[in-house]
């Protein structure tokens, strides 16, 4: 399932899908609020962490509610990697298993071994939950991907 702009340059793979409300569209002005409201706090955390990673500046709250689903696609229960021009984050072991991604060729980030780079634009990251992916790790990933075009 794709949540967000299917033509977005950046993509996050997640192992589970949220409940999608009837008549919901990622293009509606309250798409994020409606999706969070229909699901648990768990999906609020996922959306907030995604916004913190991909926001072009420190105002991730504005980005979350205005641009997140336009600039990013969440691919849930993935079976294959999608061709995108920007950053791809494979979130958690379950998502990497679904995509048959091996960590053997991944290069861990020096300051944080849980952030592993597969190639210039593809990263294996912890599941988007604050216990596994705290703010200091989000900041390290933001710094690592900031030099990549289309990030």
What is the domain partition of the chain in residue ranges?
2-145
pLDDT in tens, 36-89: 999 989 999 999 999 999 999 999 999 999 999 999 999 999 999 998 899 999
Q: Over pLDDT 70: what percentage of the chain?
A: 97
Q: Alpha helices of the chain — where are they, by DSSP H?
A: 31-38, 41-54, 60-66, 68-71, 92-98, 135-145
pLDDT given for residue 150 in this prediction: 45
pLDDT given for residue 11 in this prediction: 97
Is 60 exceeded by the pLDDT of residue 29?
yes
Mean pLDDT, residues 101-105 taken together: 86
Give Rg (Cα) of the chain. Answer: 14
> pTM (2 decimals)?
0.93
């Amino acid at each position: 399932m794709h949540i967000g702009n299917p033509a977005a340059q950046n993509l996050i793979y997640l192992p589970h899908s949220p409940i999608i409300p009837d008549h919901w569209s990622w293009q509606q002005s309250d798409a994020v609020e409606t999706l969070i409201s229909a699901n648990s706090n768990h999906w609020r955390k996922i959306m907030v962490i995604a916004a913190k990673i991909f926001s072009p500046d420190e105002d991730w709250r504005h980005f979350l509610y205005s641009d997140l689903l336009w600039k990013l696609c969440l691919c849930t229960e993935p079976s294959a990697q999608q061709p995108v021009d920007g950053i791809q984050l494979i979130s958690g072991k379950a998502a990497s298993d679904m995509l048959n991604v091996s960590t053997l060729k991944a290069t861990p980030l020096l300051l944080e071994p849980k952030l592993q780079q597969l190639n210039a634009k593809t990263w294996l990251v912890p599941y988007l939950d604050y216990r596994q992916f705290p703010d200091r790790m989000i900041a390290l990933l933001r710094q690592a991907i900031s030099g990549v075009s289309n990030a």
